[in-house]
Amino acid sequence: MKIFISILILLLCKSLYATEQVADILYYKNQKIHIYSYPLESRVKNDSTLNAKLDKLGCFSTACWRRVIGIYEIKNDSLFLIGLKEPCERKPLRLDHYFGNSEISNGRVFVDWFSGHINEGYGKYLGFSASNLNYIYENKIEVDINEGKTSNIRVTNQVKSKILGAWGNNQLGNAIIEFYSDSIYFSDSNLTYKYTISSDTIKVFLNDTIIERIQILEISDDWLQLNYLKLGITEKVSKRN
């Protein structure tokens, strides 16, 4: 019986950590950014009182093993906790139920217990980078944090150029090909295509089926030379204004 219970616990823990975790939320200059560095986690590990209060929430989600969703903002070169949500129904929690009045100022808590690095994408979702195994967004923010003080905030737009091209015999219609710093994204008015990139070859998927392989033959400032292997055609694609 003990062996059986041990196996159940082991399987539960494996499932718990295998489940994709829900993000915390960071606001910076009116932008909402999902972050996965979880600044509150280090505080909970070292604060038995806070840990016990979270245990009493009565909400358990395998998508949030830390038991609570933190909402943060960066202001005046500092990171603040401005809200909490329970992960089951995403209902807001009162900060003063989990932090003392001496820590709360203007409805927020200075996150002086956290040192680390935030590196997240935000804005328009572009696709998934198979080479880097991460989701690609239009913008990226990087922040260094030392005991709650922020520095070296770097915001970059990952768009390099946007190019409009016709897909040969209109098999896919007029498609927009958007080039980003580490990915390429295809779409038209009706469909969105997934892709993977290997060296100079792009594989285009529709409903998990490869519908085209494209070689990038030549790149200039104003156009691309593309070779559509399945269609058997070569095409020059001009930059979109």
pLDDT in tens, 126-144: 665 544 556 778 889 999 9
Q: Count CB neighbours of 128 within 10 A.
A: 14
Distance set, CA 51 to CA 35, 59, 66, 98 (Å): 21, 14, 10, 9
Cα separation, 182 vs 197, whole angstroms: 9
Q: Count CB neighbours of 101 within 10 A.
A: 8
Structure-token pair, residue 2: 């003990």
Half-sphere exposure of 120 (CA within 13 A, CB side): 20
pTM for the complete prediction?
0.64
On the 0-12 / 13-18 / 19+ scale of CB atoms within 10 A, 175 is: buried
Distance set, CA 223 to CA 165, 174, 202, 204, 226 (Å): 10, 16, 17, 20, 10
Decide if pLDDT at 229 tops 90: no
Render pLDDT for 37-65 as a digit per residue (tens, 0 to 9). Answer: 999 999 999 999 999 999 888 888 888 88
